[in-house]
Amino acid sequence: MNAAKLLAACEKAGIDFFTGVPDSQLKGLCDTLYMTYGVHGEKHIVAANEGNAVGLAAGYYLATGRPALVYMQNSGLGNAVNPLASLMDGQVYGIPCLMVIGWRGEPGVKDEPQHVTQGQITLGQLELLGIPYMILDKETTDEAFDAAFADLCRVMAEGGCAAIVVRKGALKAEGKAAYGNDRSLSREHAAEVMLAHMGESDIVVSTTGKLSREIFEIREKQGMDHSRDFLTVGSMGHASSIALGIALRKPGRRVWCLDGDGAALMHLGAMAVNGQKKPSNLVHVVIDNGAHETVGGMPVGESAVDFAALAKAAGYEYILHADSEETLADAMAQLGSLTCLCFLKIDCALGARDDLGRPTTTPKENKAAFMAFVGRDDR
């Protein structure tokens, strides 16, 4: 179905505000939203996380009496459960909204390991929350959609939340929104430079998405194993917390958290915890390309955020910035000799190789090799 039809149905039903976190399953919707309403306009806001989006929808309803549309990947239901159950629910305030949820890991559809369990429980989560839903797929006719959408609108008219669960390929756009920036340093090359400057006993925790895939392939190209890298899958926004947990228990080893801007923004409070604990062996790197690239390159909701200023305010003790191979190499040389909580922001271009692969080891194999490496005597 053309995403423009969904938006037209929403507008007709009085749903004229849209917020959420981008998802590859919803790329047709995201492209249509960006082309129609812009990225951060009056009618469309890219949220930091899915709970944030539900909160925005609640505020919009309280101010206007009209429900909003909240879009997300099904993994984001975890972030949204608290406000859905304790704020929006009919036994609390009874605030309606329409969720559009990309169904990753649908049973019977091949997907990445981090999506398998979430895909199995997606419909059950909605049922447990008492949220009626319809499933949109490639075969859904206009007539079937109109009837199901009308049912969902009746639910919202009575103060309830409702959902459209979107199967792969069910939504398309008339065109493609243009995403990008004017930066020249690629994320993969930045990763190569960083890995080349690390010590043999250094520990790496990399965020979910293409960065971890690039690190895996860099190690393969260099004939190295993957034991020193924890390639975080799923759990977006939690890489720096994983790294902190390791750094506190391995004070004799340098720990690098290689994070993304969208991921760091999703659970920004983790930076405050890092700043409070101040492990002298932790380096938190945020690679900033201004996009949720893994799910299609759509912009993140942080165009006004100064990560370096945030890091300073959170209590990081040494802060660096790089935007080229030369400035990154210089920053890495400085970081190698420091013994304090450090932060490095790297401005990177948007994009990845078309032939970028995926790790050929399983998450459990990665965990076992990584734990063996971390368990070695500190050097």
Q: To the nearest whole number, what is the mean pLDDT of the chain?
A: 93
> For the segment 309-336, what is each residue's pLDDT rounded down to a tens digit?
999 999 999 999 999 999 999 999 999 8
Q: How far apart are CA 296 and CA 317, in angstroms?
A: 34
Antiparallel, parallel or unpaired: β 229-231 and 203-206: parallel
pLDDT of residue 179: 73
Please state which CATH class domain 187-374 belongs to. alpha beta
pLDDT the model gives residue 40: 72
CB 226 within 8 A of CB 179: no
For the stretch 2-19, pLDDT in tens is 999 999 999 999 999 999
Mean pLDDT of 240-260: 97
Average pLDDT over residues 264-282: 96
User: Measuring CA to CA, which residue among 243, 195, 239, 213 is closest to residue 357?
Assistant: 213
pLDDT grade for 260, boundaries at 50, 70 and 90: very high
Position 146 scores a pLDDT of 97
Q: Which pLDDT band holds residue 296 (cuts at 50, 70, 90)?
A: low
CATH 3.40.309.10 is held by the domain 3-166: no
Residue from 275, 264, 342 nearest 305 by CA = 264
What is the structure's pLDDT at 111? 86
Highest mean pLDDT among 159-163, 211-215, 219-223, 348-352: 159-163
Q: Taking a C-beta distance cutoff of 8 angstroms, is the pair 171, 30 a contact? A: no
Same fold for the pair 3-166 and 187-374: yes
**What is the percent of the chain with per-residue pLDDT over 90, rounded to a whole number?**
80
- pLDDT score of 41 more than 90: no
For residue 176, the model assigns a pLDDT of 78
Compare 292 and 375 and report the one with higher pLDDT: 375
Residue 302: pLDDT over 60? no
User: Residue 351: pLDDT band by 50, 70, 90 thresholds?
Assistant: confident
Q: Does residue 299 have a pLDDT over 80?
A: no
C-alpha 206/C-alpha 229 separation (Å) is 7
Task: State pLDDT tens for residues 87-145.
Answer: 999 999 999 999 999 999 999 998 888 889 999 999 999 999 999 999 999 999 999 99
**Other CB atoms within 10 A of residue 5 CB:** 15
Say yes or no to pLDDT of 193 above 70. yes
Report the share of the chain in percent with pLDDT over 70: 98
- Encoded amino acid at 263, one letter: A
Q: How far apart are the first and last CA of the chain?
A: 58
Do 255 and 280 contact (CB within 8 A), yes or no?
A: no
Hey, where are the domains in the chain?
3-166, 187-374
Q: Are 75 and 118 in contact (CB under 8 A)?
A: yes
